[in-house]
């Protein structure tokens, strides 16, 4: 794009579309409305190749952009109208913010003279979203659009990524554009990545060299920085085991002998035991979330704690560490690798293998249809060569446990926010971003009903997404807590009134519904879903209603208190959050 | 909960843009910190503003807050000057209801604290006090023996001494 003055008459919205093109935007996920009409009009008048994906609810648009971003590493783009259109995206923005996902949200706004006067569909979106965005703009002048778009994509995608919102009053988007299309950015306060501190790296190398029971903890940050090769190389050089967070699944192939799988509340027993017994833990791009540390002041109390993170505010936030290095994970590891050698970890790995053999992930095969078994079979049939998105709850944890992830960006889940309704629209975004990959979304009957209106969106684009509804007719994770900690008093968890999800799917043009009731049919039904590629396919799997997720560390308890199986005695109510 | 309450003075250098104050205030309020004083004014270069924030609270949490503020896109720097060598000043105006009979007593306090009377009527007086916050506090304690009608303080402003940047 040339940076000279434009001669042809253009309005702000047309300039906006030109700038989005310059950023390489392929898709916009959105829903129209009054104050955004000029922008939707510009998508037609500019003849742009950017494809508008019309959603059925704005929350879906935000999750689609999120799924697209996580599956591709490129920022997702959302376009909605003012007021309720914009507020409907807030759950999705918060979800992206918690999980450091690059996203640019364009919201229509009432005309500038009406702002603050309670105009029709006016909401203070700039103010409402402030705590859940990385940055935001309220535009006042059409000529500012190109600079702001450039800054928004730069901020969203660099350092610790996150959502950036542009609130666009209708008179700005429809106003005459007389500015430059490629102006410089003006961000004097934004320095997203620090230079790697060589002295800090040396201290970390020194600490590593003394360890005989190390554990590497790889998180989403390692994936965002594209450090999977370096993490693997570090693990193999040190001969050190690697556990990952939920969002770190795929940083190291979970089939690798040094992989311990996921740690934390519902992580593998051997990962948690390794973390309890290690003499050194090194986090690469994890924020020591409360789901993985349990009781903060007892987490790795006697171990050397090391933290590598791009965000300085994460250092010492949850866990006080002995050594830290602020910077991009890949760059830090590149500096670290030449300074480390093999550690004497033979005994340590043997001990961990003992735990691996004694406490494997398992499930009872008696009784009704087991969600775990469906996922286990799905993994065996696909060998991890699929993109998986999940909702939040029991099915999410079973998916994390039984669907081993081999490649980065293949396991997409709402981690920090724990947003129900995320999985299915995120799968739509992921399928747009990765058209050649087979995309599965694993959802529960509760979460799926929050965003299943997007079946229409998937049908329109004939997306061959496989939607596996692990249906236990409960909000299962809360029911599990009530069973274990609240004397099995069920309150607000019984989902009577569920539709027949298979028949519901059949009512959408191009969608297919399948029903799975018997264990013996698992492979047959999964195969049938894989063979259907003319649109989305919903499998309604009628699972055992009261199955629980184990292992489990009650919230706020130290990792030592992990429950491998259902306890016989009554448990105290957890002290930790949710 | 017994948290060590320390008084801190932060100096924040920011881009002069809408919303920057709200963003910074949110970092504090979300974590339950109360801003005790706040001064915002244009810096030497009008594209930027200087904020001086006085607050008290748990020092551990404060370190986290300073980093979170520093992370904001519009913030160029956020520095805790509490233990630094810095010049800290504040200005207060106090309106006292005072008749001719008691005026002498008030003026003695004004003189002792090197304050100024900036408004004088036959029933009232506005006194301006400038200096370190402790001095302003001491003046206010003394003047309260008279009938104080209104009190306004600017909050602390701060500048690092010598070659050190603020």
pLDDT, one tens digit per residue, over B31-75 is 888 899 999 999 999 999 999 999 887 877 889 999 999 999 999
What are the φ/ψ torsions at residue A173 (nearest 5 degrees)?
-70, -30
By the CB < 8 Å criterion, does B76 face chain A? yes
Chain-chain contact of A130 with B30 (C-beta, under 8 angstroms): no
Half-sphere exposure of A551 (CA within 13 A, CB side): 26
How far are the Cα atoms of A141, A144, A248 from residue A137, in angstroms, in the given order? 12, 10, 31
pLDDT for B1: 35
Residue B67, min C-alpha distance to chain A (Å) = 5
pLDDT for B5: 56
Please identify every stretch of chain A with a pLDDT value under 70, giving residue numbers as ranges: 1-8
ipTM of the complex: 0.91
Interval B130-156: pLDDT, tens? 999 999 999 999 999 999 999 999 999
Pairing of strands A387-390, A280-284: unpaired
- Tell which phi-psi region holds residue B131, choosing left (phi > 0), alpha (psi between -120 and 50) or beta: left
Catalytic residue among A120, A320, A383, A545: A120
- Read off the CATH number of the domain in which A426 is found: 3.40.50.970
Cβ A527 vs Cβ A382: under 8 Å: no
Cα maximum dimension of chain A: 78
Cis ω for the linkage preceding A332 (within 30 of 0): no
A chain contacts of residue B74, beta-carbon cutoff 8 Å: 135, 189
Both A341 and A407 in one domain: the answer is no
Q: Which helix (H) or strand (E) holds A137?
A: strand A135-138
Best probe of the B interface among A97, A313, A321, A326, by most B CBs < 10 A, is A313
Chain-chain contact of A312 with B71 (C-beta, under 8 angstroms): yes
How far are the Cα atoms of A26, A67, A464, A526, B144 from residue A50, in angstroms, in the given order? 5, 18, 21, 34, 69
CA distance A161 to A223: 12
CATH of domain B6-80: 3.30.70.260
Catalytic annotation present for A490: no
Both A428 and A507 in one domain: the answer is yes
Residue A147 within any structural domain of the chain: yes
Best probe of the A interface among B12, B71, B79, by most A CBs < 10 A, is B71
Range(s) of chain B covered by CATH 3.30.70.1150: 87-159
* C-alpha torsion sign, points A135, A139, A140, A142: positive
Pairing of strands A323-326, A466-471: unpaired
CA distance A60 to A29: 8
The total domain count for chain A is: 3
Both A205 and A349 in one domain: the answer is yes
pLDDT for A502: 98
Range(s) of chain B covered by CATH 3.30.70.260: 6-80
Catalytic residue among A58, A228, A331, A454: A58
pLDDT for A8: 66
Catalytic annotation present for A120: yes
Interval B83-111: pLDDT, tens? 778 999 999 999 999 999 999 999 999 99
Both A351 and A457 in one domain: the answer is no
> Residue A259: which domain range?
198-358
Residue B69, min C-alpha distance to chain A (Å) = 9
Both A344 and A469 in one domain: the answer is no
Specify the fold of B87-159. Answer: Alpha-Beta Plaits (3.30.70)
pLDDT for A572: 86
Closest C-alpha among A68, A57, A52, A54 to residue A20:
A52
pLDDT for A61: 98
Cβ A97 vs Cβ A87: under 8 Å: no
CA distance B133 to B155: 8
Residue A207 exposed, middle or buried by CB count within 10 Å (0-12, 13-18, 19+): middle
- A window 314-333, beta carbon within 8 A of B: 315-317
Chain-chain contact of A131 with B15 (C-beta, under 8 angstroms): no
Tokens 């311990």 label which residue?
A260
Cβ B36 vs Cβ B55: under 8 Å: yes
Residue B45, min C-alpha distance to chain A (Å) = 13
Residue A184 within any structural domain of the chain: no
- Read off the CATH number of the domain in which A336 is found: 3.40.50.1220
Cβ-nearest to B26 among A130, A188, A315: A130
pLDDT for B3: 43
Chain-chain contact of A313 with B71 (C-beta, under 8 angstroms): yes
């Amino acid at each position: 794009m040339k940076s000279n003055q434009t001669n042809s008459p253009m309005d702000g919205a047309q300039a906006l579309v030109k700038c989005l093109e310059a950023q390489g935007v392929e898709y916009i996920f959105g829903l129209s409305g009054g104050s955004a009409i000029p922008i939707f009009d510009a998508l037609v008048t500019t003849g742009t190749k950017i494809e508008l994906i019309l959603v059925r609810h704005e929350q879906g648009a935000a999750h689609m952009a999120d799924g697209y971003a996580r599956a591709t590493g490129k920022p997702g783009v959302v376009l909605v109208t003012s007021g309720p259109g914009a507020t409907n995206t807030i759950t999705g923005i918060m979800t992206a913010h918690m999980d450091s996902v690059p996203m640019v949200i364009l919201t229509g706004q009432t005309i500038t003279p009406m702002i603050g006067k309670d105009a029709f569909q006016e909401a203070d979106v700039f103010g409402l979203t402030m705590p859940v965005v990385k940055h935001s703009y309220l535009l006042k002048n059409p000529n500012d659009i190109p600079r702001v778009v450039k800054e928004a994509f730069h901020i969203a995608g660099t350092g610790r990524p996150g959502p950036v919102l542009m609130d666009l009053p209708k008179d700005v988007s429809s106003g005459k554009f007389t500015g430059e299309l490629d102006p410089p950015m003006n961000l004097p306060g934004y320095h997203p990545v620090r230079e790697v501190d060589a002295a800090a790296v040396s201290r970390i190398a020194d600490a590593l060299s003394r360890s005989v029971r190390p554990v590497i903890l790889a998180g989403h940050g390692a994936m965002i920085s594209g450090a999977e090769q370096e993490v693997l190389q570090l693990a193999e050089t040190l001969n050190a085991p690697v556990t990952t967070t939920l969002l770190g699944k795929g940083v190291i192939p979970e089939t690798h002998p040094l992989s311990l799988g996921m740690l934390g509340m519902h992580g593998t027993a051997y990962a948690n035991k390794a973390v309890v017994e290690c003499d050194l833990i090194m986090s690469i791009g994890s924020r020591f979330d409360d789901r993985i540390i349990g009781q903060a002041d007892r987490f790795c109390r006697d171990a050397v704690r090391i933290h590598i993170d791009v965000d300085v505010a994460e250092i010492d936030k949850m866990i006080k560490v002995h050594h830290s290095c602020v910077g991009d994970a890949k760059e830090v590891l590149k500096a670290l690798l030449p300074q480390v050698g093999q550690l004497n970890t033979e005994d340590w790995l043997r001990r961990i293998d003992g735990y691996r053999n004694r406490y494997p992930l398992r499930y009872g095969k008696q009784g009704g249809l087991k969600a775990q078994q469906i996922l286990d079979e799905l993994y065996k049939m696909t060998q991890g060569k699929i993109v998986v998105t999940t909702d939040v709850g029991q099915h999410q944890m079973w998916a994390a446990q039984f669907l081993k992830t081999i490649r980065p960006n293949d396991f997409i889940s709402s981690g920090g926010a724990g947003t129900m309704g995320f999985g299915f629209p995120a799968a739509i975004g992921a399928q747009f971003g990765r058209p050649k990959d087979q995309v599965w979304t694993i959802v529960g009957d509760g979460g799926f009903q929050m965003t299943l209106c997007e079946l229409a969106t998937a049908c329109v684009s004939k997306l061959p997404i496989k939607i596996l509804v692990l249906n236990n007719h409960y909000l299962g994770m809360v029911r599990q807590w009530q069973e274990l900690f609240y004397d099995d008093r069920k309150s607000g968890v019984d989902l009577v009134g569920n539709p027949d999800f298979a028949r519901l799917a059949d009512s959408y043009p191009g969608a297919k519904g399948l029903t799975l009731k018997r264990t013996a049919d698992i492979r047959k039904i999964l195969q049938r879903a894989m063979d259907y590629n003319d649109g989305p396919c919903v499998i309604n799997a009628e699972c055992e209603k009261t199955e629980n997720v184990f292992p489990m560390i009650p919230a706020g308890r130290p990792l030592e208190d992990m429950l491998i199986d259902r306890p016989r005695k009554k448990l105290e109510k957890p002290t930790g959050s949710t | 909960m017994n948290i060590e309450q320390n008084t801190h003075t932060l100096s924040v250098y920011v881009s002069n843009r809408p919303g920057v104050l709200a963003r910074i205030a949110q970092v504090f309020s979300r974590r339950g910190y109360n801003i005790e004083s706040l001064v915002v004014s244009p810096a030497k270069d009008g594209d930027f503003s200087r904020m001086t924030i006085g607050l008290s609270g748990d020092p551990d949490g404060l370190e986290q807050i300073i980093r979170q503020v520093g992370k904001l896109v519009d913030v160029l720097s956020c520095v805790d000057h509490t233990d630094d060598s810095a010049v800290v000043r504040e200005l207060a105006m106090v309106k006292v209801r005072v008749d001719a009979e008691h005026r002498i007593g008030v003026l003695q306090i004004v003189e002792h604290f090197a304050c100024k009377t900036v408004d004088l009527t036959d029933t009232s007086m506005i006194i301006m006090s400038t200096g370190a916050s402790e001095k302003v506090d001491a003046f206010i304690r003394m003047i309260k023996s008279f009938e104080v009608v209104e009190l306004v303080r600017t909050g602390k402003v701060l500048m690092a001494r010598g070659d050190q940047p603020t």
